[in-house]
Amino acid sequence: MNSQRAQEISSSPNMVNVSYNGQSIYIEHVDQQNGTATIHTLDEPNNKQSVSVSSLHEQ
């Protein structure tokens, strides 16, 4: 995934299926300059991590 698409998904009012390492995730914030996103799995909203947007996959 690229930073622009990750930002679109993050800003969308609709839930878009995105995965990271095979797990469904929610994108909280996208840092387009650094190409990273703050994410969390759907079942652990308090377990946030910063990952490269290129490692995110839209399903």
Total domains in the fold of the chain: 1
Distances (CA, A) of 30 to 19, 26, 42: 15, 11, 17
What would the 3-class secondary structure string for 2-34 be? CHHHHHHHHHCCCCCCEEECCEEEEEEEEECCC
Name the pTM for this structure: 0.91
pLDDT tens by residue, 19-44 = 999 999 999 999 999 999 999 999 99
Local confidence band at 52 (pLDDT 50, 70, 90 cut-offs): very high
CATH number reported for the structural domain that contains residue 26 in this entry? 2.30.30
Q: Which domain holds residue 47?
A: 3-58
Structure token digits, residue 54: 């290129």
